[in-house]
Structure 1
Amino acid sequence: MKKHFLLATLAAGLLAFGAQGALAQNIAIVNGKAVPKARVEALAQQVAKSGRPVTPEMEGQLREEVIAREVFMQEAEKRGLSASDDYKVQMELARQTILIRELFADFQKKNPVTDADLKGEYDKFVAANGGKEYKARHILVENEAEAKTIIASLKKGGKFEDIAKKQSKDPGSGAKGGDLDWANPSSYVPEFSDALGKLAKGQLTDTPVKSQFGFHVIRVDDIRTAQLPAFEEVKPQIAQQMQQQKLAAFQEELRKKAKIE
């Protein structure tokens, strides 16, 4: 009798140890099915990837989320939803999305944008946008005769801002008295840019400037050395842009190499 009691006690202890071991690996048992801790860890990694810190308070929420998903999954399985055509189509699309995302992530990991690449791109930006910036105004009209009349009126003391508001065909600057704000000459069409570079501060064009948009009357209000952001300020934006360019080139290369019939 005593031997039987000892065996029963030992068996109970082993069962309890087994249950504790299962709980150590699982966060719960839902309707007899174990829910592994690995699911919580995977979900936490996804949250961390999105940029949100996984706090101790959130760990409890993640656990409840994983358990709730298991409950809902079991019910969906019970109803046979995993056998539906719609489910299979959505699963295939999800599989494709995840695999393609992994492909792109793998490419970017193996083909990083280096600091030398970033500095080189910044130097190109400086070369294209450095030098002088002009604070100019213009009045855009459809024909040369009208432009010449405006120039004559301005030379007689006419107010540039008022004429621009009344006669300029440029809806953006016209309402602001022709004001184009500060800009590098390279941001304008060549004819406009060339004329701008020949004017001194406070000077008005003597003759109309013809471009694809019509005829311009231009005045330079001020000139300064270009105000460009420091490399470190724009480094993140340059990195993002270059990564996107590299990825786009990789995608295009794959499409070109693919045999599509």
Structure 2
Amino acid sequence: MVSQFSRTWQRPPSQSELQALIDDEVRTELYVREAMKLGLDQNDTLIRRRLRQKMEFLNESEFLNKAPSDSDLENYFATHPDQYRTDAVVSFRHVFFDPQQRGESLGLDVQDALRRLTNPGDGADQEGLGDPIDLADNWSDTSRKELVALFGSTFTEALLEQAQGRWTGPIESAYGQHLVRVDSVSKGVIPELDDIRAEVSRDWGQAQLRRHQDDAYQRLLNRYTVRRPELTP
């Protein structure tokens, strides 16, 4: 108690402060013992969760986190290559169509606009088609993560699969429907191990710790008989 007080306040406690710390500890110990006599710890989710955490911390303190060898890292990297793939990047243009404004004519309007955009003889201008939206019309080298945050995952995944160099669609977003022209796509690359060795080493260590925790749990589980209810579909 004195050490903790000193670390917090950068000075030792006075006699009265030390007495107050001791009195508070006695009060805590008394209530804990009486609560356990009454079984108040038995069905408390927070207490059960905290006890589980303390057991897991105890297991973690026994874990010997040795440095990985080159072969350890190579094997882990080879097993989890997509974990390190860089994010896809895309450049594209789009024309937006608002379902609320278009109503029943939405489908016909979209198809008419697509026909005009794909037929140079019609002289269609991207800016003269579609409906207003509080997003840019042209996007350059934008990451998949950014697009998911702005347009949603459905739109982004469909966008990455579109043919390049021509107008396609419609594809749907959280806002409505879009005609798109993908100018370029880089779907991400897996870097060389030497370029991300520190990251792979960290992930390998975390994986080893999880395995250690699972093994410790299994050893404990083997000492018990677990009766599970029969679950009906």
TM-score normalized by structure 1? 0.45
Larger Rg: 1
Q: Which has the higher contact order (CA 8 A, sep 6+)?
A: 2
